[in-house]
Amino acid sequence: MRGSSLDQLYAAHLDRLMRRTDRSLEASGFEALVIHAGRAPIQFLDDQDYPFKVNPQFKAWVPITDNPRCILVYSPGNRPTVLFYQPNDFWHKSATLPAAAWTAEVNLVAMDDESKAAAHWAKLGRVAFIGPRCLMPDADPKCINPQGLMALLDYERAVKTPYELECLREASELGARGHAAALAAFNRGGSEYDAHMSYLQACKQREEELPYNNIVAYNENAAVLHYQHLERAAPAPLRSFLIDAGAQYRGYASDITRTHARGGGRFADLVQAMDGAQQTLCSAIIAGRDFCDVHLSAHRILGDVMQQIGLTKLPGQAALECGVTSTFFPHGIGHLLGLQVHDVGGVMADSQGALRERPKGHPFLRLTRMLEPGVVVTVEPGIYLIESLLAAAHADERRSHIDWAVAEELKPFGGVRIEDNVATTQDKPENMTRDAFARVANAETA
């Protein structure tokens, strides 16, 4: 869905966002809101900027993601005003004032000098400012990113509007195109770098436009959870390929992981078993479900998978209880997804900022909330052969519950992770990622 239909959804989204903000401002004692888009910091001992990443609170209101120093001004009962930065600059090309249909919903004002911005909120009463503190030196420090207001806004942001859900679907489709291109590069023997560049070309996005740095890992590199290198030469032999890569659409992110085996054998069987386990976990993303329970269920299900392929000697529940599953699955099963890859509010118990504790022994889980309709999460089970974690398990009582010969056999493959983006519903969850891959495959065969 694009064009007029999406713009209609945007109008409803903006109306809902204003109503949320009206309640939050009143509850926290403010009469207006100013949100700075941010600006790129300058590199140390240099005159070049880092890539610009827009303030997510700003792009929640307007799909302006590539023009720093813009400012949004809002007061209840009035249309939002966007001060669109257009300096008189002969070094760089100033951004063009947006003319898309969504701009009819806001007051769009060209601004050539940031010093003129304060006049737009000078008479609005007590103003809350959201953004980097260094960009608002004249504001009362108590009014910059006020904790009570931020908690209210962050908590409600977890439930997506229909507009946001549609943007996330579009981001998933862009990501699915990239994944297909990267897999083709791997299949023809290309390097990690080749697969990454194929991904960018298929998505038609620059690296700095992606929601996060792609993880493109061959063989043992897949055991590094946030592997950050791009080797220019393909290893020999090529055994496995793990790619964790997303895309953005109107500022909303996808976050997708796939793992591929080069040939048959135990690792290929593991990938297939993991895919089935992951789909079982995706089916649990329904309203009223405690995400902590989803995480613990993942450990039980993955524990059974590990035993079935011969890696461990205990069934899932027993493997969870004695800590064996955490040796191979050390991270959380998922997190909130939206304007940020790890969207805010994941461990909030309520809109006042109280925290909902993670399960004991699972410190890396990023989401502990009860699921509601419209909440979008990632579901990303993984099994890895990580040397430091294996060494720790070998040094304690977990040693007897692991088949170390199988572990050695799987080490050269690194690990497997499969990740989908799933929207919570009252009934059957919406798997945005699987739907996107199906659309891309159908388009390729049409």
Peptide bond into 412 cis (omega under 30): no
Reported confidence tier of residue 445, pLDDT bands at 50, 70, 90: confident
- The mean per-residue pLDDT over the stretch 108-137 comes to 94
Question: Torsion angle, CA of 166/132/341/195, rounded to 10 degrees?
Answer: 110
The predicted structure's pLDDT at residue 163: 98
Reported as a pLDDT band with limits 50, 70 and 90, residue 184 is: very high
Q: Given a cut of 60, is residue 32 above it in pLDDT?
A: yes
pLDDT at 91 over 90: no
pLDDT of amino acid 40: 94
User: Where is 431: in which H helix or E strand?
Assistant: strand 430-431
Q: Give how far Cα 229 sits from Cα of 101, 240, 442, Å.
A: 40, 16, 33
pLDDT of the residue at 1: 54
Strand spans (E) along 223-313: 240-245, 248-249, 252-253, 256-261
Per-residue pLDDT band for 90 (boundaries 50, 70, 90) equals confident
How far apart CA 220 and CA 121 sit, in angstroms, is 55
- Residue range 256-315, pLDDT digits in tens: 999 999 999 999 999 999 999 999 999 999 999 999 999 999 999 999 999 999 999 999
Helix ranges restricted to H, 323-381: 324-328
> 131 falls in which pLDDT band (50, 70, 90)?
very high
Mean pLDDT, rounded, for 233-262: 98
Determine the pLDDT at residue 18: 98
The reported pLDDT for the residue numbered 4 is 66
In this predicted structure, the answer to whether residue 138 has a pLDDT above a threshold of 90 is no
pLDDT score of 211 more than 60: yes
Sorted by where each starts, the structural domains of the chain and their CATH numbers stand as 4-156 (3.40.350.10), 162-445 (3.90.230.10)
User: What percentage of the chain exceeds 70 in pLDDT?
Assistant: 99
SS3 assignment, position 195:
helix
Q: Kindly report the number of other CB atoms within 10 A of residue 245's CB atom.
A: 25
- Does residue 3 carry a pLDDT above 60? no
Distances (CA, A) of 52 to 41, 45, 46, 48, 64: 8, 18, 16, 11, 12
**In angstroms, what CA-CA distances link 142 with 146, 155, 298, 380?**
6, 21, 42, 39
Collapse the DSSP code of 395 into the 3-class scheme (helix H, G, I; strand E, B; otherwise coil) and give the result: coil
Average pLDDT over residues 6-23: 96
Q: Taking the model in full, what pTM does it have?
A: 0.96
Average pLDDT over residues 320-325: 97
Q: Determine the longest span between alpha carbons in the chain, in angstroms.
A: 72
pLDDT in tens, 389-437: 999 999 999 999 999 999 999 999 999 999 999 999 999 999 999 999 9
